[in-house]
Structure 1
Amino acid sequence: MFGDMMGMMNKIKETQAKVEETKKRLETVTLLEKSNDELLTVKITANREIKSIEIDDELLQDKEQLEDYLILTINKAIKKAGEVNEAEISAVAKDGLPDIPGLTS
C-alpha cells in the first residue's frame, strides 16, 4: 500500500509539472476574435492576455458604439480563450491523474 501511495504521489507531481508546462505553452497560443462586421479585432492568448486590438476608423466616429463593440468582442475573446485553456489543462490533468478508487470525473 505504501508503494502505491508513493507511486500516486509521484504521478501527481508529474502531472503538476505537465500542467505548468501547458500553461506556459498556452502563453504562445493566440486567438483572434472579430466583431460580426469585422470592424474590431481582438488578439488574445489562450491564457486570456490581450495582445492587441484593431479598430476600424468607422468605429472611431461613435464613442458609444465603439464601447459596445469593445465589450462584446473582448468578452467573446475571453470566453473563447478560457474554453481553449480549460480544455488543454483538463486534458493534461486527466491523462496524468492516478486511478483513485471512488474518485470519478
Structure 2
Amino acid sequence: MFGDIMGMMGKIKETQQKMEETKKRLDTVLVDEQSNDGLLKVTLTANREIKSVTVADELLEDKEQLEDYLVMVLNKAIAKATSVNEAELGAVAKDGMPNIPGMDMFK
C-alpha cells in the first residue's frame, strides 16, 4: 500500500514537471490570426502573449474600424491559442495522472 502511494506521488511530481516543460514550450508555439480581408494580423504564443500586430495603412484612417478589427481578431486569436494550450496541457495531465478508481476526470 505504502509503495503504491509513493509511486503515485512520484508520478504526480513527474507530471507537474512535464506540465512546466509544456508551458515553457508553449511560449514558442505561435498562433496567427487575421481579419477576413487581411488588413489586420496578430500573432500570439499558445500561452496567449501577443507577439506582433500588423495593421494595413487603410485601417489607420478609421479609428472605430481599427478598434473593431482589433477586438474581433484578438478574440479569435486568443480563442485559438487557448484551444492549443488546453489541448497540450490536457494531454500531459491525462498521461501523467495515476489510475485511481473513481477519479476518471480526464476522460
1:4 corresponds to: 4
After TM superposition, give the deviation of residue 38 of structure 1 in Å.
Answer: 0.6
Over the matched positions of the two proteins, sequence identity in percent amounts to 70
Q: 2:53 — aligned with what? A: 53
Aligned residues: 105
1:26 offset after TM fit, Å? 0.3
Aligned to 2:35: 35
Structure-to-structure mapping, 1:58-77, within 5 angstroms:
58-77=58-77
Deviation for aligned residue 1:44: 0.3
SS in 2 for 1:95: helix
| Cα deviation digits, residues 59-89 of structure 1 (max 9, x gap) | 0110000000000000111110000000000
The structural deviation recorded for 1:104 is 1.1
CA deviation string 1:33-60 (max 9, x = no partner): 0001110000100000000100001101
Structure 2 SS opposite 1:12: helix
**1:43 partner amino acid:** T
Report the TM-score when normalising by structure 2: 0.97
Q: Distance in 1 between matches of 2:102 and 2:76?
A: 37
Q: Distance in 2 between matches of 1:31 and 1:84?
A: 9
Provide the rounded CA distance (Å) in 2 between the counterparts of 1:31 and 1:88: 14
**In 1, distance between residues paired with 2:27 and 2:82?**
12
TM-score (norm 1): 0.98
2:92 matched residue in structure 1: 92
Q: Calculate the aligned-residue CA RMSD, in Å.
A: 0.5
Ranges of 4+ aligned residues in structure 1 off by more than 4 Å: none
Secondary structure of the corresponding residue to residue 43 of structure 1: strand
Distance in 1, Cα, partners of 2:11 & 2:19: 12
